[in-house]
Chain A
Amino acid sequence: MIFQGKQKIWSDYQKEIPDDHWFYVRSCIRQGFFPGSEVAFLDICRNKLGKDFFETEHHTTCGGIAYHAEALPQETMMTIIARQFALMGEHGYKNYVCSCITSFGLYTEVLEDWRTFPDLEDKIREHLWKSCRRELTKPEYLAHASDIIYKFRNEIAAKAKHRLVNKFTGEPLRVVEHIGCHYSKMFPSKGVGGAEYPYVLAGMIDSWGGEVIDYPERRHCCGFGFRQYLVKANRGYSMSNTHKKFESMEPYKPDMIITNCPGCPYFMDRWQYVIAEQTGKTYGENGYGIPVFTYEEVAGLVLGYDPWDLGLQMHQVAVEPLLDKMGVKYNKKDKYKGSGGKILKIPEFPMNIKCC
């Protein structure tokens, strides 16, 4: 691997990310999958970095999942998105940042469609006015929330309580970065680092002391798809794609995986359990799996947040071995306590994959 070659590609795909004043929209599924991630993101941006991030309870889904599952026509999806943009304008913002990769891909595509077909934009503008009495304002800058953490990765590194370094060996942690397909595969120029070697997560890993693993199937989709997972009969090949990735990364002995999409961390986490139960195979050390994180969770760990406040108890694959390597302190007894110390149910333990 010639590092300078990758650096050259990264320099070809730089993206302008404004410094402050963002209108933030959440993801539908991430709040269920990784409930601590979006809270941590806002807390990091607002309280650790001192930035203005606005959100409103009036925003909705972008319609992405229904659209990709062919349950929603394109114009309806575009009108939903136009309404989101209108909300941004009404609150006086120009920079739009979303938590979800599906949304980011869809927003990018819709803006491109409107640029290419101005008549379509006019039509949607009219739909929006007729249905909601709102005025469409298009964002000046569109970012995915991982772009923001990428932009402030060095500020975060400066405030780091823990680094991506194995405290037992002093070696950098070996980190697999997995980018959501719709982040830059459709529009390489809209993603930090492009589509072949995206730098958005690799940059965080570099800044926070870890070592990026380049394994052969790094570009491969996690297999989530939309219809592929939603229909039970199709889940086999959804899982087979994740399996392909794990088989490919296994020789590199990764300590952790970091992702920027709602679906990828969820499926790469949960499928490890299903694969273990079906085949007996696990990919981590000593019968554990490889923990899979969102970038907000990793930023949170680096900044010293309590792992249970970050929602890491919601992971299927045990995160404790990684926390130990990073030197993150945690109270075992508090793992299944919700906010305010409320005791949550303790899950059953699987047979073939070790959990804590």
Chain B
Amino acid sequence: MIDFGYSLTPSSTIEIDDADMSLFDELCAVEPDAIKCMSCGSCAASCTAGVFTDLNLRKVLLGLQRGCEEDVLPQLKSCMLCGKCHIVCPRGINTRHLILSICKIYNI
């Protein structure tokens, strides 16, 4: 192989066709509210950990829905399960319960 000093750049496109949604389906079976999120951002704005780490529950949920779990799951490690997001969620999603279910199903 020749080194040209440059190489193919990986694409940033989310390829839904290739996404394995089986774990997400499993999640939705126990947490049907996971798809009620309307991405308002209240959870992320109120998050205790979010201002000091990259934790953003809105993005985690969306990432799981798009099959990009590897990109988003590490964020959850910063969660302190304080429940502030639970207080503010306008859809009434039990976010603490949801986060624990995600950890269990995705094995983190």
Interface residues of A (CB under 8 A from B): 232-237, 239-240, 243-244, 274-275, 277-280, 351
Contacts and interface: CB of A to CB of B under 8 A. Distances in A.
Nearest to B13: A244
A244 B7 CA distance: 13
B11 A236 contact: no
* Across the A-B interface, the 3 shortest Cβ-Cβ residue pairs: A236-B6, A235-B6, A240-B9
Contacts of B6: 232-236, 239
B29 interface: no
A129 to B, nearest CB: 46
Contacts of B11: 240, 244
Nearest to A277: B2
A278 B9 contact: no
16 contacts: A232-B5, A232-B6, A234-B6, A235-B5, A236-B6, A236-B7, A236-B9, A239-B7, A240-B9, A240-B11, A274-B4, A277-B4, A278-B7, A279-B8, A280-B1, A351-B2
Nearest to A243: B8
A278 B5 contact: no
A80 B23 CA distance: 62
A244 B1 CA distance: 21
Contacts of A236: 6-9
User: Could you say which interface size class chain B belongs to?
Assistant: under 10
A275 B9 CA distance: 12
A278 B9 CA distance: 12
Interface in B2-45: 2, 4-9, 11
Interface of B: 1-2, 4-9, 11
B6 to A, nearest CB: 4
Contact of B8 (A233, A234, A278, A280): A278
Given A232-B5, A235-B5, 10 more contacts: A233-B6, A235-B6, A236-B7, A239-B7, A274-B4, A278-B2, A278-B4, A278-B7, A278-B8, A351-B2
Contact of B9 (A232, A237, A279): A237
Contacts of A277: 1-2, 4
A237 B11 CA distance: 9
B87 to A, nearest CB: 44
B1 A240 contact: no
A270 B39 CA distance: 45
Contacts of A240: 8-9, 11
Contacts of A243: 8
B2 A239 contact: no
Contacts of B1: 277-278, 280
Nearest to B8: A240
A239 B6 CA distance: 9
A82 to B, nearest CB: 38
A275 B5 CA distance: 13
Nearest to B5: A232
A202 to B, nearest CB: 27
Contacts of A244: 11
A244 B8 CA distance: 10
Contacts of B4: 235, 274, 277-278
Contacts of A274: 4
Contacts of A278: 1-2, 4, 7-8
A304 B7 CA distance: 39
B14 to A, nearest CB: 15
A239 to B, nearest CB: 6
A33 B1 CA distance: 25
Contacts of A280: 1
Contacts of B8: 236, 239-240, 243, 275, 278-279
B26 to A, nearest CB: 32
Contacts of B5: 232, 235
A153 B62 CA distance: 52
Contacts of A279: 8
Nearest to A236: B6
A234 B1 CA distance: 20
A234 B5 CA distance: 10
Contacts of A351: 2
